[in-house]
Structure 1
Amino acid sequence: MNNTRFATSIHILTLLALKPAEWLSSEFIAGSININPVIVRKEIIALTAAGIIQTKKGKEGGAQLNRPASTIYLSEILEIVSTSDLLGRKNLSTNSKCIIGKQINKKLDVIFERTDYVVKESLGKLSLADFLKQF
């Protein structure tokens, strides 16, 4: 997995947790992340659909957390933004006549599942409020 969706979403949510009473614009958030506001808006759409944040349109609009930061866990954010397996994909057309090729995907399944479990379990112990305390 080589994308920044998780990091971008955590950045957005951490800003919203820092200023819970304010409606933060995508331009403001994008300025903190140093990315295009369009990318921020795409993540805001996904986070809104998941019920993590709420948005308000208009001049005084923006985004806010929809739940207390203490009830939002980083594992939940990973689940929202993940589009593929954590370690990537396996090679599906391995050589079935090779001792490694014919078995590797079964062996990788175990590693991939274990890694996904460990990462999700670890992130499931860290709330957005806990993460914010680091700043």
Structure 2
Amino acid sequence: MSNLRFATAIHILVLTEKFKNQLITSEFIAGSININPVVVRREIKFLREAGLIGAKKGKEGGCFLAKDPNDILIGDVYRIVNQENTFAKLNQTNPICPIGKQMNENLEDLFNKAERDLISSLNKKTLKEFSNEFE
């Protein structure tokens, strides 16, 4: 799972919601997150492709929230950022062992349920509700 990508995406979205009447630059966002602007630009591109962020290029450019924050569910952001299963990495088990040959299948079921539960829990909050937690 990429908790860092999810945290970065949420940070970007909260900033664009808080500064909704302004274009904000990747440098400004990077300063808030304390990461390299290149990482921010990569996430902005990803969020733009998902329809959550808009961007204006050029010297006076920046990004903005492209969707109503009341319509953005935190779990949907998580799902967009983590398109592969969070728990997808499994061991190469021994196919001859009675436990080993069944382990990955059983773990996948367990992990898939855990991820569904996580997304369901995160979807109880909108971006607007989360953003309201910041002064």
Partner letter of residue 37 of structure 2? P
Residue 109 of structure 1 and its aligned partner are, at CA, apart by 1.9
Secondary structure, in 3 states, of the residue corresponding to 1:87?
Answer: coil
Secondary structure, in 3 states, of the residue corresponding to 2:55?
Answer: strand
**Greater Cα shift, 13-22 or 69-78:** 69-78
Q: Residues 54-92 of structure 1: CA distance to partner in whole angstroms, max 9, x if unpaired?
A: 00012221000001111111122112211432124122x
Residue 19 of structure 1 and its aligned partner are, at CA, apart by 1.0
TM-score, structure 1 as length reference? 0.92
Partner letter of residue 56 of structure 2? K
Superposed, 1:72-111 pairs within 5 Å as 72-91=72-91, 93-111=92-110
Partner letter of residue 32 of structure 1? S
Residue 117 of structure 1 and its aligned partner are, at CA, apart by 0.6
1:68 corresponds to which residue?
68
Residue 3 of structure 1 and its aligned partner are, at CA, apart by 4.8
Q: CA RMSD in A?
A: 1.3
Q: Residues 83-122 of structure 1: CA distance to partner in whole angstroms, max 9, x if unpaired?
A: 432124122x311221210111121122111111101111
1:129 corresponds to which residue?
128
Partner letter of residue 102 of structure 1? K
Secondary structure, in 3 states, of the residue corresponding to 1:102?
Answer: helix
Q: Which runs of 5+ in 2 are unaligned?
A: none
CA contact (8 A) 2:88 2:108 kept: no
1:6 corresponds to which residue?
6
Whole-angstrom distance in 2 between the partners of 1:83 and 1:66: 21
Whole-angstrom distance in 1 between the partners of 2:131 and 2:71: 13
Residue 33 of structure 1 and its aligned partner are, at CA, apart by 0.3
Secondary structure, in 3 states, of the residue corresponding to 2:124?
Answer: coil
Residue 2 of structure 1 and its aligned partner are, at CA, apart by 4.7
TM-score, structure 2 as length reference? 0.92
Q: Which runs of 5+ in 1 are unaligned?
A: none
